[in-house]
Chain A
Amino acid sequence: QKEVEQNSGPLSVPEGAIASLNCTYSDRGSQSFFWYRQYSGKSPELIMFIYSNGDKEDGRFTAQLNKASQYVSLLIRDSQPSDSATYLCAVSNTGGFKTIFGAGTRLFVKA
C-alpha cells in the first residue's frame, strides 16, 4: 500500500462543474494535509491546507478531511479551463518528519 494514494486520472469535467479530487493515506498519525496544483513544467503551488476533521473553504476550493477514514479531498466549484493541471495531495507523517506527496491527479476542464 502506498503511503499517499491518488487516482491518477485524468479526471475530465465540463466548465462550471464541480471537480472532486480524492486522496487516501496510510499513516493514521498524520497531522497535516495539503493540496498543491502543478501546471506542466512548473513547480507545485499551495492551494489549501487542513489540520482538523471537517471542511475548510477558500474561494472556489473546499478541502475535506476525515481522519477516521484516512481520507482527504479537494472540491473545486465552478471549474475553469485554467484549473486544468495536476493536483498533488501531500501528508505530513506522524511527528511531521516527512511530507509525503501523492503521484497526483490530472484534471482537465473542458470549455
Chain B
Amino acid sequence: EAGVTQSPTHLIKTRGQQATLRCSPISGHTSVYWYQQALGLGLQFLLWYDEGEERNRGNFPPRFSGRQFPNYSSELNVNALELEDSALYLCASSLGRVQPQHFGDGTRLSIL
C-alpha cells in the first residue's frame, strides 16, 4: 500500500513569491492535515481537510491556504512568501479525525 506522497521534495523561492505544495493521502483516507516544522522546532498545525472541506486551521495568517480535491488529494498554497516561512512542510492523512495520522516525507521550502 502506497503511503502519503508529497511533492516537490524541495522548493526554493524568493521573498514575495507564491508556493504550491501537493499531497496525496493513503488510499481510503479522507482526512488530510498540513503541518509546518521549522528547523529544530516542533510541529505546528496548519490546516485540516476532510471530505473536501476545511475543518480547522491553526494560528497562521490567511496567506496560508489550501484545498482538498474530490480524490482527497490536497494542496497547500503560501502567498507573499517571507523568510520565516522556510521550513519542512508535512502532510499527513488519516481515516478520520481521532484516528492515527500517517505522514509523508515532507516538502522542504527554502526562501531566499
Q: Which residues of A contact B (CB under 8 A)?
A: 31-32, 34, 36, 42-46, 49, 51, 88, 90, 92, 95-104
Contacts and interface: CB of A to CB of B under 8 A. Distances in A.
27 contacts: A31-B98, A32-B98, A34-B100, A36-B103, A42-B105, A43-B90, A43-B103, A43-B104, A43-B106, A46-B103, A88-B42, A88-B43, A90-B101, A92-B97, A95-B97, A96-B98, A97-B48, A97-B56, A98-B45, A98-B58, A99-B33, A99-B45, A101-B35, A101-B45, A102-B42, A103-B41, A103-B42
A43, A92, A98, A102: most-surrounded residue (chain B CB, <10 A): A43
Contacts of A45: 103
B43 A44 contact: yes
B55 interface: yes
Given A46-B101, A90-B101, 19 more contacts: A31-B98, A32-B100, A42-B105, A44-B43, A44-B90, A46-B102, A46-B103, A88-B42, A88-B43, A92-B97, A92-B98, A96-B96, A97-B55, A98-B45, A99-B45, A99-B101, A101-B43, A103-B41, A104-B42
A34 B56 CA distance: 20
A44 B103 contact: yes
Interface of B: 33, 35, 41-43, 45, 48, 55-56, 58, 88, 90, 96-106
Nearest to B105: A43
Per DSSP, chain B at the interface is: loop
Nearest to A86: B42
Contact of B42 (A31, A43, A99, A101): A101
Nearest to B45: A98
A45 B106 CA distance: 12
B90, B97, B100: most-surrounded residue (chain A CB, <10 A): B100
Contacts of B35: 101
Contacts of B101: 34, 46, 90, 99
Contacts of A98: 45, 48, 56, 58
